[in-house]
Amino acid sequence: MNYNLSIYHATQFKFFFRAPSEKKNGNNTATVFLEKDQERNNAFKDEFIRCRVCNHKITTHKEKININDSHYHTFANPNGMIFDIGCYKTALGCLNTGPPTEEFSWFKGYSWQVAICASCLAHLGWVFLSANNNFFYGLIIDRLIDSIK
């Protein structure tokens, strides 16, 4: 009887001392979740695609679109300079400069304007405009910081 009782007590004893540690593990789990949230928040911040010169927010990953079945395109300008560009629905961090022109347009049916960083004025690419007022941005990949590329 005493033996059984001491087992009972030992069990209770063990349980009593295990309970706080389980609670602690629970807290640790919550801490891990908080850290995951923080990582997600940081990842969200990194969703911005930024100007490589000045870090200004130019656009986001959600704005990536395909034009003619591809996000990425490689073109040469009339001077033979090669540009690797990505296509974006909007680029709120850009300013469009100069009059629209159809000369040497890389996308049939679109005229273009030069797109520059609204903060440091670096040339980042072009905005392409269609006759029915659709537009998209073609931005030079190596002039941007794209952390999720």
In the chain, which ranges are continuous DSSP H helix? 2-45
* 65-124 positions binding Zn ion, by CB under 5 A: 117, 119-120, 122
Least Å from the CB of residue 41 to Zn ion: 24
Give the whole-angstrom CA distance, residue 65 versus residue 86: 8
By CB under 5 A, which span of 2-10, 38-46, 49-57, 131-139 interacts with Zn ion?
49-57
Q: Identify which of residues 117 and 139 has a Cβ nearer to Zn ion in the complex.
A: 117
Distance CA 107, CA 116 (A): 19
Q: How many residues bind Zn ion (CB under 5 A)?
A: 8
- From 75, 145, 135, select the one nearest 104 (Cα to Cα): 75
Walk across the sheet containing 57-60 and list its strands. 57-60, 48-51, 144-145
What single-letter DSSP state applies at residue 50? E
Is 56 one of the binding residues for Zn ion (CB under 5 A)?
yes
Name the one range near Zn ion by CB under 5 A: 9-17, 32-40, 48-56, 103-111: 48-56
Footprint of Zn ion on this chain (CB under 5 A)? 51, 53-54, 56, 117, 119-120, 122
